Amino acid sequence: MNSPVSESFFNELVELLSLERLEDNLFRGQSRDIGTKYVFGGQVLGQALSAAQATMDAASGPRDAHSLHGYFLRAGDIDAPIVYSVDRTRDGGSFSVRRVTAIQHGKPIFFLAASFQQHEQGAEHQVSMPDVPKPEDLEPSPTLSPEQMAKLPSKVQRWLSRQGPFEFRHVYPRDELNPPKRPPFQQVWFRLSERVGDAAELHRALLAYASDFHLLGTATFPHGISYYQPDVQMASLDHALWFHRAFRADEWLLYSIDSPSAQGGRGLARGQIFDRNGRLVASTVQEGLIRVVGADKADIPLHPKG
């Protein structure tokens, strides 16, 4: 049974993704502090998708989002609402395109382009899901002692002490406070901690939100660094997401992630998301800033030594 605390975070997330409609193509969303210095990128991604989905007219028939591409332009202010302006770029015979601009303090902080497709039959194939333990055979991440927490920066304390709406179980756990160097891949089971309704639009917005967790961090694995370290700066630059098959965000999904490259202060990470029956339901790619600052930065190269 989940605690009232986890239920409150769950209800808050669903409310965050249910935007206030100001005009036909104009929406307003709020933010939640989950321990990041600025607005969590997954929140903006999920809200922008929610705004785009809200402009799909029933007259054109059922059309589901199949891909989205977003660019993070400015850091979001947690204490201010975000306005989402949707441009109904095209409604064709089978596909529709929406462009969304997220605005704070009169400036764009995020752009999104999303494509929607009418239901259609076609050829199918997919890669196989990695052979990993089932989520119920894995332990939840251990919590830190009060003494360990007291030694961490305040932003990291907030992040680690959060009781978020998603549950994560790592196939290969890593000590983020003392990260070892290891190959740039990981698998993480995740699911929403409470059951939610059947609306496919909500499940896609929830998956967009959750897809920002653990993705870019995989690019730090070969270098023995972590977002939790005070001299490491990390931020999403862009994010792409493709929806392949129907899924539920409140049932276990496997996030299989790898990072093919890090260079020039940037890292690239790719993810494949499977349901527990092995169906590939979504794919992701993200590039982000990975920068080590301070006097010790020369000792932590962001590229493997040949």
Q: Is 236 a catalytic residue?
A: yes
Q: Is 286 a catalytic residue?
A: yes
Helix (H) or strand (E) holding 12: helix 4-17
CA distance 218 to 177: 15
Q: Is 261 a catalytic residue?
A: no
Choosing from 115, 193, 212, 275, the catalytic residue is 212
64 contacts 243 by C-beta, under 8 angstroms: yes
Query: Alpha helices of 103-236 — where are they, by DSSP H?
Result: 146-150, 154-161, 200-210
Choosing from 53, 187, 226, 286, the catalytic residue is 286
Neighbours of 266 (CB within 10 A): 16
The DSSP symbol for 59 reads: G
CA distance 182 to 174: 9
Burial of 93 (0-12, 13-18, 19+ CB in 10 A): exposed
CA distance 65 to 205: 10
- Structure-token match 């965050």, residue found: 16
188 contacts 257 by C-beta, under 8 angstroms: yes
**Residue 305 phi/psi, 5° resolution?**
-80, 135
**Residue 47 phi/psi, 5° resolution?**
-70, -40
Choosing from 236, 256, 259, 272, the catalytic residue is 236
For 167-188, give the DSSP string: EEEESS---SSSPPP--SEEEE
The residues, any chain, with a CB within 8 Å of residue 1's CB and separated by 6 or more, are none
- Residues involved in catalysis: 212, 236, 286
